Structure 1
């Protein structure tokens, strides 16, 4: 793979990590260096790289980014009982324009996903998700985006894109590939009532920080239905991440954000993963937390069960629950114990849901259906299919 926009890891940094214990991740990853070039990717499952773009950030848009603090912490960790190969491809530098950076990121993500390699993006401003999403334009007909963020970032689609307004651009710009957007961890006081109501009108999913923290397992089915996942580090408690200018006392703690990263990794559908809003003023604790988020995502990928296949679904256990005029059909995997609910196929629709026949759900959804309560996500998905 020949991508001239990828810069190798710094030689001094490579010498530094060579002194780490040989059985840490520093001795396990293939790395992009000036001497050896970009690693061969034939047997690579996960490719990590940085994107030093933050010019469209509302704050700190001129800051120079360096991801070596994250890498230093990550390479010092010991791998789990993993059976997959990982590469560090180096960094995408700022292009002459932001659009140039977008093009480089979009190109790289697209090529990696086509090769069934999962891109793991360390990014500056979160508007980079727009380029991550656009990589799917020629790969998938419809995609689901999950964003762990204290804000919806819908913004005004008529105004220029920024790290607070990229979702609006995703919704209105052609080609229309977005089927569902799920926000995980929003905090009401950071979002206008107009945006909250717009999320409802678009049948998008939104999960408040408090309800997720109360029962984080409710997000596992949401992640299982995602194609791409982004994390805004501003969704993490600022005292945990060690970033002073965020000044947000509320947010996910370290254990919670790592659990969410693991849910993203274990999802059979998630084919790209990004961590955004990094700043070089993060503390050593913040860098270590991001390193552990990466670790848990990779562990999740290692334990995927490949249940998102027709052959796996043949062995699912089927349950039928009559509610009013509907008969809800649930499926349970005898292997993982995970649940799905069937979305009725609308023959006269535009058939954009052909590949979304089964919607991931929880056992609680099944139990509530038995008590004559229709799952909200089933209703929203069915409504989107009818539009």
Structure 2
């Protein structure tokens, strides 16, 4: 691992580690310090802070650190985890924002190639653009899931910011984006033009109320994601500290942690980012919430079950349903009971499997198909191609 882009964790935090219980996360992490650049051999996840927010529409020149988040995270106790975790420190903001993007691209790319999942703490959410670009030479089919109050499509004709990075992702070559999904959007934070564009592009969106009514609706969406980007402003103001307060409506702490755990459980998610953190003096609530979001993602990764090996016909059940003129083929894992639906019209050029790519779905989607209803996710994937 090239540590040239990364500054070590502050000595103050390492000194405070000595006071923690021996079983806390802080005592078990491989931490990049002033005197040690840890080996990443056997590491499954790596925490990376990015001290960049100059492309935020609210940027007023302030600097920030992730000291309080790390302090809160280090003092938590791990679950029954089997994977090693590293804290690589922070990417300092470069001379320009593009320099910061470039550093993040190189760090994330090298981690993914080493099969290590980066857990990115930001910074403004436009850093998702750099996270996405890290996949340019790794994969040509990327699914992004954004946990956010708004779509972040913005005006792509203007310079990138934390409310328009998606427009840049869509329009800039190389075109690697296959699908984009917004989780928890609130209509009054999105223009009708953006809502119409989401429909036109056959992207997916789930309103806040639909998710809070049944949180499990996000599981198949996150099962298909490569990148999960989370705006902390999607959490309602009563759950966070004064400077972080944004809206009275949003996810509560339990819901945002459940979403984070679903992201971790997904076998496909290879990077996870938490953005728009605004530190303040009385910051315990927000810092602890971010720490717990990280904890639940890591818990999810440790609970991953390899149930999507469809080359072994003994590992799944296959169901064929005729709906109108379409033949829908469903697969159910014998190991976990999770469901997928075949996408017969899409070919992955780099797939090693003989069957068509599969889209994660629910048992309810199968039941609906038997009643003559085509699942909406399948329909959008169909129209997109």
TM-score, with length taken from structure 1: 0.95
Query: What is the Cα-based RMSD across aligned positions, in Å?
Result: 1.6
The answer on whether the counterparts of 2:49 and 2:122 sit within 8 Å (CA) in structure 1 is yes
Residues 83-126 of structure 1, C-alpha deviations (whole Å, 9 max, x = no match): 00000000001000000000000000000000000000001100
- In structure 2, C-alpha distance between the alignment counterparts of 1:82 and 1:297, rounded to whole Å: 12
In structure 2, what is the equivalent of residue 381 of structure 1?
381
Q: Which residue of 1 aligns with 2:180?
A: 181
2:299: which partner in 1? Answer: 299
CA contact (8 A) 2:46 2:116 kept: yes
Tell me the residue number matched to 1:44.
Answer: 43
> What runs of 5+ residues in structure 2 fail to find an aligned partner?
none
Question: Which stretch shows the higher mean deviation, 83-92 or 306-315?
Answer: 306-315
State the Cα distance separating 1:307 from its structure 2 match: 2.4
* Residue 268 of structure 1: aligned partner: 267
Counterparts in 2 of 1:5-24, with a 5 A limit?
Answer: 5-24=5-24
Matched, 1:220 2:219: yes
The structure-2 alpha-carbon separation of the partners of 1:262 and 1:298, relative to structure 1 and needing over 3 Å to count, comes to same
Pick closer, same or farther for the CA change 1:16–1:312 going to 2, 3 Å.
farther
Mapping of 1:223-238 within 5 angstroms? Answer: 223-238=222-237
Residue in structure 1 matched with residue 25 of structure 2 by the alignment: 25
Q: Give 1:114's aligned residue.
A: 113
Distance 1:354 1:179, change over 3 A: farther
- Residue 277 of structure 1 corresponds to 276
The Cα shift of 1:316 comes to: 1.0
**Partners of 1:345 and 1:357 within 8 A in 2:** no
> Which whole-Å deviations, capped at 9, do the CAs of 1:274-307 have from their partners, x for residues lacking one?
0000111272011111111111100100011122
When residues 312 and 15 of structure 1 are mapped into structure 2, their CA distance, relative to the original with a 3 A threshold, is: farther
Measured at CA, do residues 44 and 352 of structure 1 come closer, stay the same or move farther in structure 2, by a change above 3 Å? closer
| Deviation readout 1:344-377 (Å, 9 max, x if unpaired) | 1357xx9699987110001111111111111110
* Pair 1:255–1:343, CA change in 2 (3 A): same
What's 1:130 paired with? 129
2:202 and 2:182 map into 1 onto residues whose CA distance is 12
**Unaligned stretches of 5+ residues in structure 1:** none
3-state SS of paired residue (1:234):
helix
Listed one character per residue, the Cα deviations across residues 196-250 of structure 1 (whole Å, up to 9, x for unaligned) are 0000000000000000100110100000000010000010111202243643000
- CA distance 1:315–1:163, change in 2 (3 Å): same
SS at 2:4 equivalent? coil
Task: Tell me how far apart the structure 1 counterparts of residues 279 and 100 of structure 2 sit (CA, whole Å).
Answer: 19
CA contact (8 A) 2:45 2:86 kept: yes
1:286 matched residue in structure 2: 286
Q: 1:116 is paired with a residue of what secondary structure?
A: coil
Is the 8 Å Cα contact of residues 244 and 277 (structure 2) preserved in structure 1? no
* TM-score (normalizing by structure 2): 0.96
1:75 and 2:74 correspond: yes
| Number of residues of Structure 1 aligned to a counterpart in Structure 2 | 382
The 8 Å contact of residues 54 and 61 in structure 1, kept in 2 or not, is answered as no
1:158–1:354 CA distance, 2 compared to 1 (3 A): farther
Question: How far apart in 1 are the matches of 2:307 and 2:260?
Answer: 19
SS at match of 1:300: helix
TM-fit CA distance, 1:314: 5.1
Quote the residue 2:322 is aligned against.
Answer: 322
Secondary structure in 2 matching 1:4: helix
- How many Å separate the matches in 1 of 2:349 and 2:26? 47
Confirm or deny that 1:248 pairs with 2:250: no
How many Å apart are 1:68 and its aligned residue? 1.1
Query: Residues 298 and 78 of structure 1: is their aligned pair in 2 closer, same or farther, counting only changes over 3 Å?
Result: same
How far did 1:60 drift? Answer: 3.3
2:55/2:162 contact within 8 Å kept: yes
Deviates more, 1:83-92 or 1:362-371: 362-371
1:47-80 CA-to-partner distances (Å, cap 9, x unmatched) read 0010000001111342211111111111111100
Give the match for residue 162 of structure 2.
Answer: 163
Q: 1:20 to 1:109 in 2, by over 3 A?
A: same
Change beyond 3 A, Cα 1:352–1:373: farther
| Residues in 2 aligned to 1:352 and 1:159: alpha-carbon distance in whole angstroms | 35
Task: Write the distance in 2 (CA, Å) between the matches of 1:169 and 1:312.
Answer: 40
- Equivalent in the alignment of 1:145: 144
Q: Distance in 1 between matches of 2:239 and 2:313?
A: 41
